[in-house]
C-alpha cells in the first residue's frame, strides 16, 4: 500500500506558474474608523458581502480593492498598513449601506474614497460614524475584478434596464 501512495504522489505535479489560475483572497483586513481613521479608504468598490452574524445580528461588509495604502485591523485586532492592491472590508453601517449598496452591486465598478469624519452619539449608549464619500465618475467593467467581484448573493446583483440614468452611474 505504501508503494501505491508513492506512485500517486509522483504522478501529481505542481501546476505551472502561468497556468491561468489567480489567488483567491480569503484573509482580508477590516477598515474600522475607530482604529483606521488616520488614512482614508480608497479603492474600487467591488462587492457587498454578507458576513457571519455578530451577537445574533446579521450584517454586511463592503469589499474594496485599494488603490492607496490604508490602515486595517487583522483578525487579531492588530492595526497594520495594507498595500495597494489588497482587498479590504469595511462594515456596512446605515450610512454606508444607503450610499454604496447599489454601486457595490452594479455592472460597472467605481473607485471610491471613504473618509471617516466624526463619531456621533445617537443615544442609548450607541454611536454612529459620519463619512465623506467620494466617487470617480468613470468606472471599470465588473469582470475585470475576477472572483472577488462574484462573491455574495447572485440575487442581489441588479439588472440595469432602459429608462434609468443615461450614464448608468449608480450614485
* 36: three-class secondary structure by DSSP: helix
- The structural domain count of the chain equals 1
* 135: three-class secondary structure by DSSP: strand
**Domain boundaries, position 58:** 26-151
pTM of the model: 0.75
| Inter-residue contact 145 to 44 (CB < 8 Å) | yes
- Domain assignment present for 116: yes
Q: Is the pLDDT of residue 141 over 60?
A: yes
Q: Is the pLDDT of residue 32 over 80?
A: yes
Q: Is the pLDDT of residue 22 over 90?
A: no
- Domain assignment present for 9: no
User: What is the spatial distance between Cα 171 and Cα 162, in angstroms, rounded to a whole number?
Assistant: 17
- Domain assignment present for 3: no
Instruction: Using the Cα atoms of residue 50, residue 55, residue 56 and residue 57 in order, give the sign of their dihedral.
Output: negative
Kindly report, residue by residue over 82-96, the tens digit of the pLDDT: 999 999 999 999 899
Amino acid at each position: 500500500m505504501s508503494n501505491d501512495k508513492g506512485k500517486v504522489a509522483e504522478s501529481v505535479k505542481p501546476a505551472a506558474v502561468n497556468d491561468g489560475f489567480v489567488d483567491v483572497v480569503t484573509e482580508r483586513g477590516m477598515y474600522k474608523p475607530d482604529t483606521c481613521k488616520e488614512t482614508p479608504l480608497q479603492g474600487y468598490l467591488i462587492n457587498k458581502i454578507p458576513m457571519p452574524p455578530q451577537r445574533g445580528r446579521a450584517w454586511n461588509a463592503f469589499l474594496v480593492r485599494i488603490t492607496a495604502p490604508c490602515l486595517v485591523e487583522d483578525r487579531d485586532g492588530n492595526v497594520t498598513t495594507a498595500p495597494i492592491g489588497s482587498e479590504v472590508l469595511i462594515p456596512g453601517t446605515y450610512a454606508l449601506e444607503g450610499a454604496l449598496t447599489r454601486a457595490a452591486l452594479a455592472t460597472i465598478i467605481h473607485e471610491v474614497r471613504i473618509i471617516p469624519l466624526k463619531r456621533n452619539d445617537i443615544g442609548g449608549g450607541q454611536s454612529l460614524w459620519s463619512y465623506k464619500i467620494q466617487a470617480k465618475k468613470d468606472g471599470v467593467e465588473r469582470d475585470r475584478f475576477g472572483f472577488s467581484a462574484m462573491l455574495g448573493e447572485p440575487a442581489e446583483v441588479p439588472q440595469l434596464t432602459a429608462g434609468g440614468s443615461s450614464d448608468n452611474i449608480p450614485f
